Structure 1
């Protein structure tokens, strides 16, 4: 998940992300601080946060990238679309 400490829409995810990570434990979740990894965000075309980019075997298999607030249901729907 790409986010930043100052981002209120990113902080909105904090209460339910542990539950999502537990429910989808087959996946490895990596939290990336956008401000510390600007080059990575640029390379992956991640300009809005919070955003999710999914990889399998080093290849991108899906993305949920925008500057809009994301609900628990939207994040779950994105993860389920990866299967």
Structure 2
């Protein structure tokens, strides 16, 4: 998984086929999904997965109405394809179902 390093970089990723994972080091629910995310990325290899540190990019979260983590936003060609945004813990099955519906 790539790590977002700048707002400009986010705009570049949005123009491709990408999934942004909004997370934070202190978030226990974010830590729960870490072990299976490589498998999710492998199953959906046509997407570029990008981790967005909520604390480092708080304005990005606000601009995209992401107020709970972990959350996922998917984009293709600059358009939002879908979002799985909530403060609830997410399972591998729920994440994969979200991605399969895009």
Instruction: Name the TM-score, length of structure 2 as normaliser.
Output: 0.80
More strand by share: 2
Q: Name the SS for the 1:26 alignment partner.
A: coil
Match of residue 47, structure 2, among 27, 48, 52: 27
Match of 1:76 in 2: 96
Mapping of 1:49-64 within 5 angstroms? 49-64=69-84
Task: Return 5+ residue gaps in structure 1 as ranges.
Answer: none
Deviating runs (4+, > 2 A) in structure 1?
none
**Aligned residue pairs, count:** 82
Instruction: Name the TM-score, length of structure 1 as normaliser.
Output: 0.97
Task: Return 5+ residue gaps in structure 2 as ranges.
Answer: 1-20
Match of 2:61 in 1: 41
